[in-house]
Copies of this chain bind each other. A is one copy, B any other.
Amino acid sequence: MMAPNMKDVAKRAGVGLGTVSRVINTPHKVSPPTRLKVEKAIKELGYYSNEIARTLKTRNTRNVALVLPSIWHPFFSGFAYYIENYLDEQNYRLMLCNSDGKPDKEVYYLEMLKEKKVSGIIAITYNQIDDHISSDLPIISFDRHFKDDVTCVTSDNLKGGEIAAKTLHETGAKKLAYVGTINNRIDSEVKYRRIGFENYVKAHGIDHFIYTVEDPIRDYDAFLDTFFKRHNDREGVFVENDNLAKKLIKKAETLNIKIPEQLKVIGYDGVEETEFFEPKLTTIKQPLEAMAKASVEALIRIIETGPKVERIVLPVELKQGKST
């Protein structure tokens, strides 16, 4: 009545325990006749090997935690989708961990590594948790660096910022602005979007303004309101991410500013989240799938062959919409 185990299979097939294990893990090391006997017994008993017991021996749970603020955000759910796909391809499974951006939850999930609940972690975190991260742990960090460096995967934020500035300028916007956040608590890669933008406008002597507030934004409406009040002469604006860009466009509409005639807008992310948004947003598209693939591959490399710190930067591209 109880689920059969390997011993039951061995008995039924009239072979030793090890032979059954070999049929399952290294079938080529078993002679065809014995293999057949064992496979027959497995089928007859409806045997499934117990992953828990295997893991106790092999020490690899084949579980990976994806720690992120909230799966309920299109960018993250798209990322999670691809991560799960690539993990599954390598016979790994994805543990979903919503941190809500809270430091204690981020740490809490990182501890799963110690309890052997997972073999590795892909982390998208926004708090000061450097003490819990170390370069010999199987951790991939997304879009950020830690004191003790770990492998980091990002899109080419610097280039993205440059492309945005270039595009705005070349489509006729003379007075530009960057709208986004700054984060003094952690070493986020997102800042390079601004730096890339600045590099370009400075190199070309373009009139520009950097409009930022400390992350996270508490009051979007006030933030955007002030922007338009103080800088209503801008003709092109590069916004830190698509979500904020859309809010900015909606705000502009209430002020009767025509997009793109009076104001050109470029966002950053490029996830197909809102087929219904109008005007279709011009944006710097992150290679979501490639980033997921790179994250998974780097992590599994670490899990299976030991620590190795890399810095993986993937190319972005301009996705033309109707907002420029």
Contact = CB atoms under 8 A, between A and B. Distances in A.
Given A81-B98, A93-B95, A274-B274, A116 B70 contact: no
B95 A117 contact: no
Interface in A36-86: 48-53, 55-56, 61, 63, 66, 70-74, 77-78, 80-81, 84-85
Contacts of A94: 95-96
Contacts of A84: 71, 96-98
A250 interface: yes
Please tell me how many copies of the chain the complex holds.
2
B93 A117 contact: yes
B72 A276 contact: no
A52 B55 contact: yes
Determine the main DSSP class of A at the interface with B: mixed
B61 A71 contact: no
Contact of A81 (B52, B63, B70, B274): B70
Interface string A5-24: 00000000000000000000
Given A95-B93, A115-B49, A74 B71 contact: no
A78 B78 CA distance: 13
Contacts of A81: 70-72, 98
A78 to B, nearest CB: 5
Contacts of A111: 48
Contacts of A66: 96
Interface in A206-257: 246, 250
Interface of A: 3, 48-53, 55-56, 61, 63, 66, 70-74, 77-78, 80-81, 84-85, 93-98, 111-112, 114-117, 246, 250, 274, 276-277
